[in-house]
Amino acid sequence: MKLTIVGCTGSFPGPSSPASCYLLTAHDGERQWKIVLDIGSGALGAIQRYTDLEDIDAIFLTHLHPDHCMDLCGLHVAVRWKPGGWGRDRIRVWGPEATADRMATAYGLELNPGMHEEFDFSTWAERQPVQLGPFTVTPYAVNHPVEEAYALRVEVTEPDKEGNAVRRILTYSGDTDSCEGLEDAARNADLFLCEAAFEEGRDDDIKDVHLTGKRAAQAATAAGARRLLLTHIPVWTSQTKVMADAKPEFAGDVAVAVAGVHYTV
């Protein structure tokens, strides 16, 4: 499985990165599949550096804050108004129950048909897996002040060079503070892509919103994750501070996500 960091700046786009958006690519032995985890503010332009929009098989939204979902509006335009027609099936979108209505309202559309002609919307059921090609995506409810927020556990089985089936796990935290659901989602993950928007000592009085580097690392340790990749770091949060707080709490590899970088899971 290949992970491409399309956007990783927290809360709103920064000068060097869009908001949250992650492209995952895997092969099922017959063809390559591409899914997108979140498509936040500014992500639609950047993702075209790495894939044709027509090749996106599905989009999985963790929650409905704009920095995680708003560029679905731009993708709606690309699908609806492409000269000559889209030429592909509707793009499948999984998200919270309000996703279809929220996107239609954001774009000023009537709820019926809204964006249903461009997207095939499905609603998350907590801890119920979704199968698509080589991907199995399972949502875990997490601790963030919005009606529905999920961490996503992505499991992939794909053939290696000898044709043997290999299973890998990537967990993406979405936005959350510490909670049991986050640790369950990240259990034994090969790569834990985890938000760390807050700083220790600066944001201690704000509860149940975001993680710090320290709390992200503690969650990774409790879950038995193998690698930790810190993300969703806003422009006013120090990456150096977040890393310094994380390293003493996690024995494995720790890094900060950078837009445009690819990882093999």
Q: What is the pTM of this model?
A: 0.97
pLDDT value for 58: 98
Give the integer Cα–Cα distance in Å for 110 and 198.
38
Neighbours of 204 (CB within 10 A): 10
Residue 83 DSSP SS3:
coil
pLDDT at 167 over 90: yes
Structure-block tokens of residue 91: 């793009």
pLDDT at 158 over 90: no
Burial class (CB in 10 A: 0-12, 13-18, 19+), 132: middle
Which band of pLDDT confidence, cut at 50, 70 and 90, is reported for residue 81?
Answer: very high
Query: Under 8 Å CB-to-CB from 204, ≥6 apart: which residues?
Result: none
Structure-block tokens of residue 102: 């929220």
pLDDT at 2 over 90: yes
Tens of pLDDT, residues 208-255: 999 999 999 999 999 999 999 999 999 999 999 999 999 999 999 999
DSSP string, 114-145: TTTTTEEEEE--TT--EEETTEEEEEEE-B-S
pLDDT value for 213: 98
